[in-house]
Amino acid sequence: MNERQDLSGPYEDTIKLEEMSKEFLIKLLKEWQEQYKALNEGLYTAALKRIPLEQFNEILMDANEHMYKVTMPRLNKLAGIEPETLLDYNRVGQLSIDANKSQGYFVSHEEIISPNHFISTVTKCPYLEAAEDMGIPEFIKPLCEVVEPYLMPVYYQNHPKLKITALKLPPRKDKTEICCKLEFKIEE
């Protein structure tokens, strides 16, 4: 059977992804990342109009914790590895729907010290940029100091020896500064 490049032709009530071309599936995955990004933007905007920031952050932590606990082990299997090092966990994490790094959503650079130790410097963060643009710096502080420290260990599948140290967190003086800098280490 020929791989399909698009959905042209007669209407079908079911789309079979197995019949689609690799090129089509890659485009679809990129669109799904953009759709996830738009969903997040809409969710943040709508929720913050209706509920206090603290309550929203609790919902955000619960929802993302559930997503990571369910999907990260499945992504291990898809990746074909059982993570042993931080770099393994990062490879698996790159498959996660919220890993928009490839789309330029978040931009970071990792200084790899060893397979179990690296420093991540984030130079583009849409949450920080939105808080700065809207003039609500109080939005970013709990996200960086409460939400992310809670979720990062779950993302790394609750490795018992994982230690994450914030070396620099927002706010920043101006947009020429980095957004944040974090040290990740599995203690031996």
pLDDT of 73-92, one tens digit each? Answer: 999 999 999 999 999 999 99
Model pLDDT for residues 128-163, shown as the tens digit of each residue: 988 888 888 778 889 899 999 999 999 999 999 999
Instruction: Evaluate whether 122 touches 107 at the Cβ level (below 8 Å).
Output: yes
| Per-domain residue ranges of the chain | 21-186
Predicted confidence band at 7 (pLDDT cuts at 50, 70, 90)? confident
Two tokens, residue 162: 């994982």
Tell me the mean pLDDT in the region 104-110. Answer: 85
Question: What Å distances lie between residue 30 and 12, 33, 35, 76, 100, CA to CA?
Answer: 23, 5, 9, 21, 9
Instruction: Evaluate whether 163 touches 185 at the Cβ level (below 8 Å).
Output: yes
Predicted confidence band at 9 (pLDDT cuts at 50, 70, 90)? confident
- Check residue 100 and give its pLDDT: 56
